[in-house]
A and B are shown apart, each in its own frame.
Chain A
Amino acid sequence: MAKTAHDIVGSERFKALVRKRWSVSIILTILLFVLYYGYILVVAYAKPLLAVKVGTYTTLGIVLGALTIVGSWVLTVVYVVWANTSYDREVNAIKKELI
């Protein structure tokens, strides 16, 4: 049965989609904050820790700096994988009801 725009926005399915979308976004944003500000706070308060050698010369600081960049990228990939599979499928299903 075709539904009007108003029915869709009021439907439980649509509301669940919006809730899910922001839950995923907010969790990922919090992880990003923890990752980046965690790194900055370690730089600010635990400088000796960063000087610890993990290779003959490579320091833990260099590894953590690189991991902050790689970690940010990984979070982006997680979002895209979720959106491309779960979110898009649900969006297409709801859009079908509209037509």
Chain B
Amino acid sequence: MQTSLGQANWISILFFAVFVLITLVITYWAAKRTKSTAEYYAAGRSVTGFQNGLALAGDYMSAASFLGIAGMVSLRGYDGMIYATGWLVGWPALMFLIAEPLRNLGKYTFADVVAFRLRQKPIRVAAAVGGILVLLAYAIAQMVGAGNLIKLMFGIPYEAAEIIVGCVMLVYVLFGGMLATTWVQIIKACLLLGGVTILTLLGLSHFGFNPNTLYGEVEKLYSASMLNPGGLVTDPLDAISLGLALMLGLLGLPHILMRFYTVPDAKEARKSVLYATSFIGYFYLIIPIVGFTAAVLVRKEPILAIDKGGNMAALLAAELLGGTPFMGFIAAVAFATILAVVAGLTLAAASALAHDLFVNVFRSGHASETEQVRVAKLGTVIFGVAAIAFGIAFKGQNVAFMVGLAFAIACSGNFPALLLSIIWRRFTTAGAVTSILVGSVSATAMIVLSPTVWVDVFHFSSAIFPLRNPAIVSMPLAFIVAILASLAVPDKEAERKFEDEKLRTYLGVGAE
């Protein structure tokens, strides 16, 4: 098929300009309401459960998962669907294990919870290291993906795309703080859910609105194997390890955890997870339909001709179904998606740098509001510029492993310490620090030595660590280290404080 993809598409640029204009007006409005630290990091705790649910969905549903999973389904069929399920299952676990205690115990970051009854400084340093490693890996994956996608969609040079994304995102976070970031994420979530719904309905209209007919066309055109599992789950151990990282890694992603402080109390936190789970579940249910539609209507060859990874399948389907204007709209939505995700990452990194490291380590918790906000903004600029620089430095590199790395570190470094600090009376400072460091370092080392990096990136003939996903080894290791270190050096003071903490954990008494 003829496509105008990759050329300056005026309709797309117009949609995108309108989006940026609206979000900048919101940022201006938010900036006037963002003076204190609670406003900068947590939108003054004024966000409702419904709004936060949408914003969480906006923070989580990335362009990579929208375009990537649609593309994977269009080329590999059912395997893309298996992959899609993994992205949802963390949300119920987040609800059952973490969400409400996290909201009750913390202030701005997940380190607040871990450090609640333990020694502030060592915990803050370890948690900031674990948190920033996760955010950096996640941001590099997003930025490199953004540069490539924007180049494919609009024909803008890679470096220019990095700078545009970085600068627009910095304006939101720097001036509008969490309030602007929240609204950018809400608008993006609505656009993405709306756009994908229209795309799905337009696609299904060619098959009498019956998915069964669509699957029939897939089977006739290719073969029944498109509708059956292929090569994705060949090694069950690796698949389970990936599943663990996706599921429990969510419970250690700093930018997701941070969103829980924007709502007034634990009940709203609970509501936000339910709404987020509903929106994200719906999203991953309909994305495969977009992929199958593209496979039938666009065909595999044109999809492969534009991008080997199939990332343009959804856009080609949009062009075929709704013409160039609709493709322009979907491309603008994908661009907005990238902005919203990177903004969330940057704000979380700023809170780790400014709130955890500067205020609680260098200033031992004593700094004026004005100074705290100023340092938070400095942290925002540092991380934003780093994200642009890394994005450009990693141009053309294979960074597919970076998202896996982020989830593996989150699930091995941050999650065990966070969970144990909530549930285990005898957990100590030594346990938390060793657990975060051993979990983060072992997950990183195992990924580097795994086939994902050692063979695919460094091109060695065989990997030193056999699994592509280390979570099944590194997460239990972090738990064991945490338990042994805590038992070896007991902390009576922390045990005593655990009893007081319970009132806040379960009843919300004294929560900020």
- What residues of chain A have their CB less than 8 Å away from a CB belonging to chain B? 5-6, 8-9, 14, 17-18, 21-22, 24-26, 28-29, 32, 35-37, 39-41, 43-45, 47, 50-51, 55-59, 61-62, 65-66, 68-70, 72-73, 75-77, 79-80, 83-84, 88, 91, 94-95, 98
Contacts and interface: CB of A to CB of B under 8 A. Distances in A.
B270 A57 contact: no
B281 A70 contact: yes
Interface in B264-288: 267, 270-271, 273-274, 277-278, 281, 284-285, 288
B87 to A, nearest CB: 9
Nearest to B501: A9
16 contacts: A18-B502, A18-B506, A29-B93, A36-B86, A40-B82, A40-B233, A40-B240, A45-B236, A57-B219, A65-B78, A68-B89, A72-B92, A72-B281, A76-B91, A95-B507, A98-B507
Given A65-B81, A77-B274, A72 B91 contact: yes
Given A58-B215, A69-B285, A98-B509, A36 B227 contact: no
B457 interface: no
With a 10 A CB-CB cut-off, give which of A6, A40, A66, A98 has the most chain B CB atoms: A40
Contact of A40 (B96, B239, B288): B239
Nearest to B504: A5
Main secondary structure of the interface of B (DSSP, over half): helix
Interface of B: 78, 81-82, 84-86, 88-89, 91-93, 95-97, 100, 211-213, 215-216, 218-219, 224, 227-229, 232-233, 236, 239-240, 243, 247, 267, 270-271, 273-274, 277-278, 281, 284-285, 288, 423, 499-500, 502-503, 506-509
B236 A44 contact: yes
B78 A36 contact: no
Contacts of B93: 29, 32
A83 B236 CA distance: 35
A79 B85 contact: no
A79 B240 CA distance: 25
A36 B236 contact: no
Given A9-B502, A51-B224, A76-B277, A88 B81 contact: no
A32 B215 contact: no
A25 B281 CA distance: 20
A36 B89 contact: yes
Nearest to A73: B281
B233 A44 contact: yes
Contacts of B219: 57
A80 B218 CA distance: 39
Given A36-B85, A57-B215, A9 B500 contact: yes
A76 B387 CA distance: 35
B92 A79 contact: yes
Given A32-B96, A43-B229, A66-B285, A37 B243 contact: yes
B509 A69 contact: no
Nearest to B237: A44
Given A43-B229, A73-B92, 12 more contacts: A32-B89, A32-B93, A35-B89, A36-B247, A40-B243, A43-B239, A44-B236, A57-B212, A62-B227, A65-B81, A73-B281, A95-B509
A25 B502 CA distance: 17
Given A9-B500, A51-B224, A94-B507, A69 B284 contact: yes
A3 to B, nearest CB: 11
Contact of B85 (A65, A80, A98): A65
B285 A55 contact: no
